[in-house]
Structure 1
Amino acid sequence: MKIWQDILTTALVGTERKILTPIPSTDQLSQLLSQLNYKDPEGTLLSAAAIISLYQKAGQIPVTDNQPLPTPCQTDNNSNCSPLSAQYLKVMLLKERQQLLPEWLAAAATARKQVPAYYLPELLELGRTSPHLRLAIMSVLGKRGRWLAGQNPKWDYVVGEDIEITWKTGSSAARQLLFEQLRTENPGDAREKLTKIFPQEKLDQQLAFLEIFQTGLNMDDEPFLESLLDNKYQKIQQKAAELLAHLPGSRLSQRMAKRITSALIMKQNRNRLHLDFTLPNGNDEAMTRDGINGKQPPKLLGEKAWKILQIVASTPLSFWTEINRISPTEWIQAAKRSEWDRTLVDAWVVAALRQKNPDWAEALLSIHTNFNGYLVNNDISIRGLINSLSTQRRDTFFIKLIQENKTVFDSQNPAFSLLRHYRYPWSTEFTMAIIKSLKYHLNNTKNPYDWTLQSAFKDFACYIPLSIVPELSLSLPNIVPNNPSWGYFWKEAIDELIVLLNFRTEMLKEF
């Protein structure tokens, strides 16, 4: 189209050097263009470009989609959550109060309520980016949520209503989520399903399934995992060995105990236990089969220390306490007097996490507190050790820790360094012990602007029991000293804490 080329040329060189000339009226388009005011070069240029652009668009045929419409979603008998409850969900999906979302999802699932259709896209998208929430999200999607997920390949992690079809033809993410769900409900049935198809799966899928295998892991799984020690892939062997080390009664764990028996050297010096180890050079085939890597020690760790760490981490913790009835604390103290202090403590931490041994977990947490994190200083390990304690034992341990610690309760306090990893519902007694410590801190602190402690209040609000919220709403503001220079700093944090507690209370009332 010559007129379009003229417009482009004029736009490039400018109307001072070239102007558009009137167009003879020969068709509908030129008739429109001939009506422009050619005495205004700039206006003529812009108007001509606009007319031609609209003319070209008007002549285009709309894009048509020849794909058949999806089958409509089936009727869902489950009821949606209330409009007010949905508003609380909306707030959390907007990343406000998002730390309370798992509690909302659990409450909705318990009440057999599902998410209203309007919020399903956002919730499904959150599940795509937050795998740890997927199981909880699955429980509130309903038929419409599953149907909607089937329309978007990005949400292919959602398990379809027909479990067998998902297991056979679903995406990798959906099959893995289904396997996790099955392991939660019935570990044995899930294992039987996996053993039938495991040899035909690709290596990355096999590893993904084994990663989930820890859910519901028990001694019935031992024969299958033991057989994988002879797998042709080293990664499969190592993962199977790691899982078997979670089972103190497994054959692998017993073999590790025999290795420690032959390697451990115990000496008494001035009524103090001292430890050392003697190990053969290199790895034999049996050690390699059991997952012991003797060739690639991590940085700052020698070959012998690396081998000791791997063997001890896979040895049943009962092995140590059965030797002369020596307690976990005594073993840790003996390790500190040896050249293997960090190696042994790191190995016992791994063993305690794998075996969920409460006696060793408590002893290792105490070492962390007494030595200010010198030996046990990994956040994930600390959370795992706390998780190894029962609800009552966690409560007792932390209450005692707070009451025995005489320093002010600030962010440098060893008790606080553990408390920030305590992600479980608090008891009333535990809550009141924390508040008492906070009050003492605020009246005796030399560092009133403790941002780390203040920011932790939002986490505290997630675990405080709601039964005492009315009482706390009245008493908490009174623990702040009437100090005009920094009292507002803490008053603001406590106000936010109370707002969060009230938010939780009202949120859960809807269920």
Structure 2
Amino acid sequence: MKAWEDLVGTALLGTRRRPLDLSGQPPAVQEMANARSEPAEQLLAAAAVLTTYRRAGRRALTDVKPLPVAAADERPFIPALARERLARLLAASHPDLLQEWLGVLAGTRFRVPPEFLPLLAESARSKAALRGPLVAVAGSLGAWLGQRNPDWAFLAAPAEESGDVWQYGSLAQRRRWLAARLTDDADAAREALTTSWKSEPADVRADFLGVLAGHVRDADEDFLEAALTDRAAAVREKAADLLGRLPDTRHGHRMAERLRPLVRRRGRVLDVALPQTESGKDEGTVRLRTLVSAAPLSFWTEFGPPAEVVRMTVEGCPPGVLRDAWAAAALRQRDETWAHALIGADPGGRATPPLLGVLGPASQAATIGHLVGRLPTESFARLVHELPRPWTAELGTALLDWIARQDDHRLVSHAAVVIARAVPAGCLRHPLATTRLTMDAGPWRRALTETLNFRREMYEELA
């Protein structure tokens, strides 16, 4: 209201520096203020009357239509114990545990009580990871709230069964539509993607390739080949990564042919020359990394088995560049044999955590058990932070077995926080969680046990 702002401005500057102007005030305020003679008194009277005027001086609204009622939701509310736990999660601000709780709830027949939805929506507004699981459990009342409050618009249930969402929806809605169609009607999803591809911004093209990553198939080769020439580097990198996941592609064969004249073996030495470039050695190193990471790993079989090749002396190029490129290729091609070989050659290397994600559940747990004996406690504790998730039950059990044997150490306590939050539900009855602690147990061990028990109870309450 400009009338109030005028009074505040005059009060801040003083009536001597800024004369009081009552012309913009409502008539009733002018009348009361003009009954005073001093400007300061006029200002105070006007402020007092205008305050009352603003509080109670409005005319009643007419032709007011009631808000539409949210659609009925027949699901029962969560049990009383689960309500108490949700209140604790919101008060303690544990977004990772809250996200897990919402995910568990999404698989049940229950719904969240209405009084919790505004707090959950506010949490999801600032923590995007909570939005997906909250939308799944909020139901019709959540959609109603999303339609009323622009800050909670992510709760509004879009008509994603309609084809219009691909053309007119938000990026999040289009991503969900594409992911769903790639599962239910892959041909229609790919047709929509290729039709709009050239008109999409670069960041959106890269984002959609990320959605395609979980559904890539041989028939996508031509589309991804075309994306290799995209003007955006992020799109080219994504396309190369997805092509690497396909067996026997033209792109892979081209990379192998360009790599072939650069590699030869001399006894226990692997001689790898850098590609010739006009820009010098640095550009040659980049090109070599591109060739090795994109070529099929079967290219290297003529030089020996993976476990032997990765341990050979490398000359002609930086050995670290070659190993990093092998790791990138193993990740793209999901090659367990090469992943084992690379982990065995450099167990403490930066590529070890993602390479562990390539291994099957039993092999992954066995490799972790092997690394426990090869790596110092500090190095293994750091590795825990970088392990790809979600973890399998076998991996979770192996890590709980490891930490149960550890003494107090700063890095071990940090790893305990990760393990307590990341082990799957099947590990929550591990002896570490069910055995009573002694009085001299360290704080980190108590916190680990408490978190495991908290999560187990969370699952039981919603069962």
Query: Under a length normalisation based on structure 1, what TM-score does the superposition of the two structures give?
Result: 0.72
Tell me the percent identity.
24
Q: Structure 2 matches for 1:10-25, cutoff 5 A?
A: 12=14
Cα 1:309/1:50, change in 2 over 3 Å: same
Secondary structure in structure 2 of the residue aligned to 1:213: helix
Which of residues 359, 363, 367 is equivalent to 1:393? Answer: 363
**For residue 451 of structure 1, what is the aligned residue in structure 2?**
410
**For residue 452 of structure 2, what is the aligned residue in structure 1?**
501
Which of residues 377, 384, 391 is equivalent to 1:419? Answer: 384
**For residue 285 of structure 1, what is the aligned residue in structure 2?**
none
Partner amino acid for 1:120? L
Q: CA deviation at 1:435?
A: 4.2
Q: Structure 2 matches for 1:340-379, cutoff 5 A?
A: 340-369=318-347, 372=348, 376-377=349-350
**For residue 24 of structure 1, what is the aligned residue in structure 2?**
none
Decide whether the 8 Å contact of 2:384 with 2:415 is kept in 1.
no
Decide whether the 8 Å contact of 2:85 with 2:458 is kept in 1.
yes
Decide whether the 8 Å contact of 1:166 with 1:174 is kept in 2.
yes
**For residue 253 of structure 2, what is the aligned residue in structure 1?**
254
**For residue 191 of structure 2, what is the aligned residue in structure 1?**
192
Secondary structure in structure 2 of the residue aligned to 1:274: strand
Query: Under a length normalisation based on structure 2, what TM-score does the superposition of the two structures give?
Result: 0.78
Cα 1:28/1:260, change in 2 over 3 Å: closer
Q: How many residues align?
A: 440
Q: CA deviation at 1:393?
A: 1.5
Asked if 1:384 is matched to 2:349, the reply is no
Q: CA deviation at 1:178?
A: 2.7
**For residue 477 of structure 1, what is the aligned residue in structure 2?**
437
Asked if 1:163 is matched to 2:123, the reply is no
Q: Structure 2 matches for 1:217-232, cutoff 5 A?
A: 217-229=216-228
Write the distance in 2 (CA, Å) between the matches of 1:280 and 1:32.
87
Deviations 1:170-220 (A, max 9, x none): 122321233234445665543233223334444443333223221222223
Which of residues 443, 450, 453 is equivalent to 1:492? Answer: 443
Secondary structure in structure 1 of the residue aligned to 2:261: helix
Which of residues 37, 51, 65 is equivalent to 1:54? Answer: 51
Write the distance in 1 (CA, Å) between the matches of 2:119 and 2:226.
43
Which of residues 294, 297, 301 is equivalent to 1:314? Answer: 294
Write the distance in 1 (CA, Å) between the matches of 2:137 and 2:103.
9
Larger displacement relative to structure 2 (258-267 or 176-185): 176-185
Secondary structure in structure 2 of the residue aligned to 1:477: coil
Cα 1:465/1:431, change in 2 over 3 Å: farther
Cα 1:341/1:65, change in 2 over 3 Å: farther
Deviations 1:150-182 (A, max 9, x none): 444444556614422322321223212332344
Secondary structure in structure 1 of the residue aligned to 2:264: strand
**For residue 461 of structure 2, what is the aligned residue in structure 1?**
510
Q: CA deviation at 1:312?
A: 0.7
Deviations 1:442-463 (A, max 9, x none): 3xxxxx5x32321322222221
Decide whether the 8 Å contact of 1:81 with 1:116 is kept in 2.
yes
Decide whether the 8 Å contact of 1:405 with 1:415 is kept in 2.
no
**For residue 103 of structure 2, what is the aligned residue in structure 1?**
106
Cα 1:208/1:466, change in 2 over 3 Å: closer
Deviations 1:246-296 (A, max 9, x none): 32332211211222223212221xxx13222253445xxxxxxxxxxxx6x
Partner amino acid for 2:338? W
Write the distance in 2 (CA, Å) between the matches of 1:259 and 1:58.
79
Cα 1:31/1:72, change in 2 over 3 Å: closer
Q: CA deviation at 1:491?
A: 2.2
Partner amino acid for 2:443? E
Which of residues 303, 315, 323 is equivalent to 2:302? Answer: 323
Secondary structure in structure 2 of the residue aligned to 1:76: coil
Decide whether the 8 Å contact of 1:73 with 1:144 is kept in 2.
yes
Write the distance in 1 (CA, Å) between the matches of 2:183 and 2:87.
29
**For residue 88 of structure 1, what is the aligned residue in structure 2?**
85
Decide whether the 8 Å contact of 1:157 with 1:172 is kept in 2.
no
**For residue 139 of structure 2, what is the aligned residue in structure 1?**
142
Deviations 1:318-375 (A, max 9, x none): 322x225422x32222255664211111212222222222222233333443xx4xxx
Decide whether the 8 Å contact of 1:466 with 1:505 is kept in 2.
no
Write the distance in 2 (CA, Å) between the matches of 1:10 and 1:314.
69
Q: Structure 2 matches for 1:455-466, cutoff 5 A?
A: 455-462=414-421, 463=423
Decide which structure has greater helix share. Answer: 2
Partner amino acid for 2:299? F
Partner amino acid for 2:282? G
Secondary structure in structure 2 of the residue aligned to 1:72: coil
Q: CA deviation at 1:77?
A: 4.0
Partner amino acid for 1:503? F
Decide whether the 8 Å contact of 1:317 with 1:351 is kept in 2.
yes
Secondary structure in structure 2 of the residue aligned to 1:458: helix
Unmatched runs of 5 consecutive residues or more in structure 1: 15-26, 283-294, 443-447, 483-489
Q: What's the C-alpha RMSD, in Å, of the aligned pairs?
A: 4.1
Write the distance in 1 (CA, Å) between the matches of 2:118 and 2:105.
17
Asked if 1:275 is matched to 2:271, the reply is yes
**For residue 172 of structure 1, what is the aligned residue in structure 2?**
171
Write the distance in 2 (CA, Å) between the matches of 1:250 and 1:259.
15
Write the distance in 2 (CA, Å) between the matches of 1:116 and 1:308.
58
Write the distance in 2 (CA, Å) between the matches of 1:175 and 1:10.
51
Write the distance in 2 (CA, Å) between the matches of 1:510 and 1:326.
52
Decide whether the 8 Å contact of 2:82 with 2:458 is kept in 1.
yes
Cα 1:468/1:134, change in 2 over 3 Å: closer
Write the distance in 2 (CA, Å) between the matches of 1:317 and 1:10.
75
Q: CA deviation at 1:303?
A: 1.4
Deviations 1:374-417 (A, max 9, x none): xx33xxx5543222222222111112222x3485x3xx2x3222
Q: CA deviation at 1:508?
A: 0.6
Cα 1:150/1:385, change in 2 over 3 Å: farther
Write the distance in 1 (CA, Å) between the matches of 2:427 and 2:226.
51
Decide whether the 8 Å contact of 1:431 with 1:464 is kept in 2.
no
Write the distance in 2 (CA, Å) between the matches of 1:75 and 1:401.
54
Partner amino acid for 2:325? A
